[in-house]
Structure 1
Amino acid sequence: MSTLSDLLAEHTKLSDAAAAHLQRLVAEWQLLADLSFADFLMSVRTENGDMVTVAQCRPNTASTVFPSDEVGSVADDPQLDRAVRADRVLREEDPEWFGSVAIRREAVPVGFPGADGPIAVLTRAVDLTHPRLPSPLELAYQDSANDLCQMVADGTFPHQEGNPRGLSTPRAGDGFVRVDANGIVVYASPNALSAFHRMGWTAELTHTRLSEVTTALLTDPFESDDVATVIDAAAGVSAPPATPYRDVGMRMEADARRATVLIRAVPLRPRGIGTGAVVLIRDVTEVKRRDLALISKDATIREIHHRVKNNLQSVSALLRLQARRTANPEARGALTEAVRRVASIALVHELLSGSVDEEVDLDEVVDRLVPILVDVASGDTSVGVRHRDRLGVLSAELAMPLVMVLTELIQNAIEHGFDGSDANREAGESQIEIVADRDVRRLLIAVRDNGSGLPDGFDVGSSDRLGLQIVQTLVSIELGGTLTMGASPTGRGTEVSVEIPLR
């Protein structure tokens, strides 16, 4: 089955940032489906003008109205086009009958800051076959869902909140609390009441200030202050914390006297107007005990990466020592290149030792790798290396060979791009630039210098340089990409481009 990233790459040319926004929305829209008692479909406009469904979500709180898989099908619904053109939420007042099932559809455009109109559109489909008087829980759910759907159209949901501890997301059914703009509880579901009772709260929860209740229940005073700050900031009672949400997160795990709970606060700001917040709570006392075993395994994997890094650094040190003791210049050069290659692999393992998801931030790798490579530059010419564009995060299996490729290309430009033949070049003018262009389909990286350029008749395919042979092998076999070398578009120097698929 194709993933969302695969379908976006196949049918659209969305930017990397816009695709990431849709990924975050799909990661969070189970809350929308549960609060709406409705199915959700996400559709995008293809290059030929069709609307194709790329994701589907069914509610846990109601029966589905789409029993079949709609992903990949063409969404033949004029309401979607109208919602995109009007850039606002559109609702069908009269239900549409499919056999014995009456469905009311609502089209929700997906806004994204900086985009020229909606980047996608959601279909919210509700079963109206058996109408009845809604309960207080259903009214609270649907009122919150309407606010969140408007925030989707505004481009303000989901929030770019961080999750530094990798905490899971409570569901609406685990425990739902709605607070108003003053932080006062206006509704608490039975499961939420049970969770607070297990934490030690015995009084009525409605009409109390939720931040004060949690402060009284949590055992750690610093933890209780953090939870209270997050709840009040989400409701709009107080200013947001000095540290942005994307760094501290809007979800926390807290210990009370009798239980451990996971709390998440979701601000409600339809059209930029604060209406309060949704606070989800889940009792994770037993789950936490089981997670301790998984944490131990994760720590073991990271410790392995750490030890591999240490061993590679030891090998690098031995090779460096041998290079210093070798009188043969050719052998010394070969050993120095081996030191550099081993050091680049060790750097990736060092970053993996601190990662919880086996992913590598290429920008951090390049920023740490460049000074090491510049230090070994020979000659009197000062070479500056500039990292201009965002490379992003890649999985370990792609990052490892790509870091090796970048190491070889940067070092090759330093060693061979500036031969000192240009007498008019001033000291310190030699520059190497790393530029990148990334979208949902591929990553293009170019290493560009303003040196003396390629020699006449140079052919990368027939080159006998070991570094270029390593690059060609890694790009074609390990990364499945393409390598091109030619004159720099600035008219001076050389540009080496590597394009790899991300699908």
Structure 2
Amino acid sequence: MSFTDPLRTVPDFDAGDAEWLHLLVGDWQMVADLGVGDLLLCFPRSVVPASQSPTGRPIPTEDSDFLVLAHARPTTGPTAYQKDMVGETVSGDVARPLRRAWIDQRIEKMGPSEWSSLAPRSVTLVPLVRNNRTIAVVSLTAEPHHDRLPSRMELVYRQSASDLLRMANEGTWPDFAVRIDSRRGAPRVGDGLIRLDTDGVVEFCSPNGLSTFRRLGLQGDLTGQNLLHAACQLQLNAPGVDETLAPVLAGTMPWRAELSAVKASASLRAFPLRRGTERAGALVLCRDVTELRRRDLQLVSKDATIREIHHRVKNNLQTVSALLRLQSRRMNSVEGRNGLQQAMRRVSSIARVHESLSHEISEDVDFDDLIRHQVKLAVETASATQHVHTEVHGEFGRLPSKSATSVALVVNELVANAVEHGLRDRDGTVELSVAHLQDEVDAAGSANRVLEITIDDDGGGMGDTVIEESGVSAYRPPAEGEGLGMQIVRTLVASELGGSIRWQPGESGGTRVVITARFPQQASGRG
């Protein structure tokens, strides 16, 4: 359930209001850190609609309690609440100031007598006003500075928190222009804070912020310098400052950017400050992400190396397959030629899996495209003169690379067997179907995805005989008339796929082979 669901039940509020609250809660950890206090997002349990309200706006009913929708604790100081407040109800004397702030739409600071349960902490109530309507109330609960003189950094922190809460009250923060960036290394208050004036000149830079710029090559102090001009003097990997980075350094756009020097990298994020419609400066968070980017580069290099290995293995296997084909053409014995062709087909199956892995970053394979080509290849190799039609139904999804190799080999052998022994020299059809069964939990408590793979042919059939094998019974010596292919199938199904295999008559003649296979759930994405 989304924390904005209570808001959505009131007709006077729309999806834009809910999305705005999501943006605020996505960034309000910074406000909790700057204000060194806990933030609670409160919403009334009972609302008078705008059509019935004396103010013409939705307001809480006279005796309405408030529900806490979200809670953020500071990482820069102690918490005011030892338990998670989400889902708690604020009622009685404590709810009255919340209702008053909602109706008046003004920021209020509460004294100990009005919020007695939290004395001697100070509580600031901030109604969030958007389109002239209050849509929630935020409370900031912090320790007062009665026993000591606050430092310059604390004063700047608290002033910055006050500015952001004032903008939230005016509906100008958060800004819908903010860009969603999932890249690792988002800067936080403790990583480094820079406060700019309206001209982009640094009014204050925290010690961590200065250290970050020193690692980038800055000489001297930042305070009093234009941040954009100071960044242009650094020896960056990219010459100058591009059009994306410049608005961040100037504090004019709420974006993220990155400064990369020869031996260091820094992640930046700007928060423009406004007073009404006028600019009032900006906050810029900065973080040294040198080690993060170095590790990212190592991962990219590792992924490229793994893909190159798969590519080379595929090339080597294709070379082996080609050598087997050449050797088979020189064989006078029909039995020897058929044996080499079967080996060539098996090597080609494994090569196709490695070819797919050479194009992937992850260690699993999108198996559907691969298996369609594999079925056609197996039929073309096994059928000498007859015309065999192939059909594939259902989707495998993504399979782990180890399991993909086993499934490809098993399907290859069974399709070839259906052509060679089921259809023999006749034309016909071979169908491959896959169905997803209910997931299972093994003895170790791990979830497994279960697939049922079915191969049908419309050949001569095997009579009324039904053969089913799994587990230890699958490791038996080959029976009379069985070749190496069937022994490979039984062994792979039992050992690598943890399943069973059943041969039975087809519904309309021919033979049906049903395989039950299990795969680890963490690789169960269905592409």
Structure 1 length normalisation: TM-score?
A: 0.54
Distance in 1 between the 2:372 and 2:290 partners? 42
SS at match of 1:291: helix
1:74-122 CA distances to partner (integer Å, 9 max, x unpaired)? Answer: 1222121111111222222567675795111111122335xx6122110
CA distance in 1, matches of 2:174, 2:303: 28
TM-superposed CA distance for 1:275, in Å, is 0.8
User: What does 1:433-472 align with in structure 2 at a 5 Å threshold?
Assistant: none
Aligned to 2:32: 33
Please say if 1:8 is aligned against 2:4: yes
Deviation at 1:16, TM superposition (A): 3.6
2:85 is equivalent to residue 70 of structure 1:
yes
Q: What is the deviation of 1:128?
A: 2.2
Q: Which residue identity lines up with residue 177 of structure 1 in the other structure? A: I
Deviations 1:218-250 (A, max 9, x none): 513457234652235524xxxx6xxxx6xxxx1
TM-aligned CA distance change 1:192 to 1:7, over 3 Å:
closer
Residue number in structure 2 paired with 1:196: 213
- Name which of 122, 126, 134 aligns with 2:150: 134
Q: Which residue of 1 aligns with 2:74?
A: 59
1:108 to 126, 135, 145: 126
Mapped to 2, the partners of 1:82 and 1:296 lie a distance apart of 59
Paired residues of 2:248 and 2:268 also in contact (CA < 8 A): no
Q: What's the counterpart of residue 470 of structure 1?
A: none
1:69 maps to a residue whose letter is D
- Of the three residues 87, 91, 97, the one matched with 1:79 is 97
What residue is the counterpart of 1:88 in the other structure? 106
Percent of residue pairs identical: 32
Q: Secondary structure at the match of 1:122?
A: strand
- Distance in 2 (CA, whole Å) between partners of 1:164 and 1:298 is 22
Query: Does 1:281 find its partner at 2:286?
Result: yes
Determine if contact 1:95/1:105 at 8 Å carries over to the other structure.
no
Partner of 1:172: 189
State the distance in 1 between where 2:232 and 2:158 align.
29
Cα distance in 1 for residues equivalent to 2:111 and 2:119: 16
Can you list the C-alpha shifts for 1:162-183, whole angstroms capped at 9, x where unaligned?
Answer: 1345344211111111010000
2-side partners of 1:119 and 1:166: how far apart? 31
SS at match of 1:193: helix
**Paired residues for 1:414-425 under 5 Å:** none
Q: Deviations over 1:436-490 (max 9, x none)?
A: xxxxxxxxxxxxxxxxxxxxxxxxxxxxxxxxxxxxxxxxxxxxxxxxxxxxxxx
Partner of 1:46: 45
Distance 1:292 1:105, change over 3 A: same
Q: Is the 8 A contact 2:8 2:15 kept in 1?
A: no
Which structure carries more relative contact order (alpha carbon 8 Å, separation 6+)? 1
Q: TM-score, normalised by structure 2?
A: 0.52
CA 1:177/1:233 → structure 2, altered by over 3 Å: closer, same or farther?
closer
The equivalent residue for 1:209 is: 226
The CA distance in 1 between the partners of 2:108 and 2:149, in whole Å, is 24
Report the 3-state secondary structure (helix = DSSP H, G, I; strand = E; otherwise coil) of the residue aligned with 1:40: strand
Q: Is the 8 A contact 2:33 2:189 kept in 1?
A: yes
1:101-500 superposed matches below 5 A: 101-113=119-131, 117-128=133-144, 130-160=146-176, 161-164=178-181, 166-221=183-238, 224-226=241-243, 228-231=245-248, 233-235=250-252, 250-292=255-297, 307-308=366-367, 310-311=369-370
8 A Cα contact 1:95 1:102, kept in partner: no
Q: Residues of 2 paired with 1:67 and 1:266: CA distance?
A: 30
The alignment partner of 1:106 has SS state of: strand
Give the Cα separation in 2 of the matches to 1:186 and 1:95: 37
Contact 1:177–1:192 (CA under 8 A) maintained in structure 2: yes
Distance 1:25 1:71 in 2: 16
On the 8 A contact 1:261/1:282 being kept in 2, the answer is yes
Please tell me the residue identity of whatever aligns with 2:130.
Answer: F
Deviation at 1:146, TM superposition (A): 1.1
In 1, Cα distance between the equivalents of 2:302 and 2:34?
A: 36
Question: Alpha-carbon deviation of 1:316?
Answer: 13
8 Å contact 2:67–2:88 — kept in the other structure?
Answer: yes
Secondary structure of the corresponding residue to residue 134 of structure 1 = coil
Distance 1:18 1:305 in 2: 41
Q: Which residue identity lines up with residue 8 of structure 1 in the other structure? A: T
Indicate how the Cα distance of structure 1 residues 153 and 166 shifts in structure 2: closer, same or farther if over 3 A, else same. same
CA distance 1:19–1:305, shift in 2 (3 Å) = farther
Q: In 2, Cα distance between the equivalents of 1:94 and 1:259?
A: 48
- Alpha-carbon contact 2:185-2:292 (below 8 Å) kept: no
Structure 2 runs not aligned, ≥5 long: 48-63, 305-356, 378-390, 399-527
Do 1:91 and 1:106's aligned partners in 2 also have CA atoms closer than 8 Å?
Answer: yes
Q: Is the 8 A contact 1:210 1:231 kept in 2?
A: no
Alpha-carbon distance, 1:70 to partner: 1.3
In the superposition, relative to structure 1, how do residues 31 and 50 fare at CA in structure 2: closer, same or farther (>3 Å)? same
Q: Is the 8 A contact 2:271 2:284 kept in 1?
A: yes
Contact residue 102 and residue 137 of structure 2 kept, 8 A: yes
CA separation in 2, counterparts of 1:100 and 1:9?
Answer: 28
Q: Which runs of 5+ in 1 are unaligned?
A: 319-334, 350-503
